[in-house]
Amino acid sequence: MRILADQNIPGLDAYFHDLGEVRVMEGRDIAARDLRDVDVLLVRSVTRVDTALLQGSRVRFVGSATAGLDHVDINGLGAAGVGFAAAPGANANAVVEYVLAAIAAQPDMLERLLDGGRVGIIGYGHVGRLLRQRLTALGIASLQYDPWLAPGRVPEPASLDAALACEVVSVHTSLTHDAPWPSFHLLGAPQLARLGPQNLLINASRGAVVDQAALLARLQAPDPPKCVLDVWEFEPEVSAALLRRVSLGTAHIAGYSHDAKLAATRQLAQAVQSAFGLVQHAIATAAVADPLVLPAGLRGVAVLRWLCGARYDIRADDRALREAVLEVDADRARRAFDELRRGYPMRRELAGSRVQAGNAEQRRWITALGGDVQ
């Protein structure tokens, strides 16, 4: 079996060496000519996969190491008899920890939320569900807007206006143009006008869910909201004007933890085994990260803020993006954006980590965030 994979998918040797011959290349460069003798194609979100790409190839299975599916023509693959699998939920915890880090990076937002504020969650899929679970464990209320789910599937269902009225608005919907509920430009000028300096908008879903031009106009207007962006409407192009206006900006890496990436690769390996009727063999998980030690004197919200930054420094990713794409020409900025993702440093998750605690309050916060109290 011949396998072609995006070179940014980690763990290929560990998870696929028994399944076939693996060749890697840059995901944005994969073209039809590269697939003529390929049986399995493994991609990330930068590769558009449709029947035109697979024309004339012998590809029988496509795997995407992502949760989002807007880069894959699933119906076209099915009509052509090509199997498909993605990795839904693999990066959910990484994205949730990104959101919590973004909130904790604001001077007073954690305090406001713990004092009765709410988070409006737009999109109640894998990430939205886990975010609500973490918030509930922390004692933070939330509302969820998701018209794409059947009635009864959302615990605290709310209108879009109600979600936008929350202190934090966190966007986690997939990108769709389909009626009756397209998410493309779901947040345009009328919706963004509802947000003021008391609000924090976080988009860690798809860039085009928020109208980029309307967002820039709102951030340039009086009394703008705070905004954290991990995704950009015209990736790999990042609007320099918008980046200068947001509180934090990162290079579409919210789900880029080492744990999430390996979980996605593991899911794809299992899917390939199943699709080709191969003998199922055990696939190892990521090694346990070194334990964390909470400073003994920390109390109250300072404990939570410390934990949210213990495994992930969101400000470092913000600095890296600004240094890479500001004050350079457009071509260099696009290349730099991809390079930030390609060379992203090792990042582990707090959930599942061993954390040494000195008191009951610290142990409660650790448990709420999915850590393992030592």
Measured from the Cβ of residue 197, the count of other Cβ atoms closer than 10 Å reads 10
- What is the C-alpha to C-alpha distance for residues 43 and 22, in angstroms, rounded to an integer? 13
Is 124:153 a contact under the CB 8 Å cutoff?
yes
Burial of residue 29, with CB atoms counted within 10 A of its CB: 0-12 exposed, 13-18 middle, 19 or more buried: exposed
CA distance 82 to 127: 28
One DSSP character per residue, 215-276 reads HHHHHHSSSPPEEEES--TTTT---HHHHHHSSEE-SS-TT--HHHHHHHHHHHHHHHHHHT
Contacts of 234 (CB under 8 A, 6+ apart): 207, 212
Query: Does residue 252 carry a catalytic annotation?
Result: yes
Among candidate residues 97, 167, 233, 235, the one labeled active-site is 235
Separation of alpha carbons 100 and 259, rounded Å? 17
Separation CA 15–CA 312 (nearest Å): 26
Q: Which of 71, 134, 252, 334 is catalytic?
A: 252
In the structure encoding, which two tokens stand for residue 181, read together?
Answer: 């509920």
Q: Does the annotation count 266 as an active-site position?
A: no
CA dist 99 and 147 (Å) reads: 22
- Give catalytic status of residue 167 as yes or no: no
Indicate which residue of 71, 206, 341, 363 is catalytic: 206
Question: Measured between alpha carbons, how far is 204 from 122 in angstroms, rounded to an integer?
Answer: 11
> Which parts of the chain are beta strand (E)?
2-6, 21-25, 40-43, 61-64, 83-85, 118-122, 141-145, 168-171, 200-203, 226-229, 248-249, 292-293, 354-356, 372-373
* Spatial separation of the C-alpha atoms in residues 54 and 72, rounded to whole Å: 12
Residues with catalytic function: 206, 235, 252
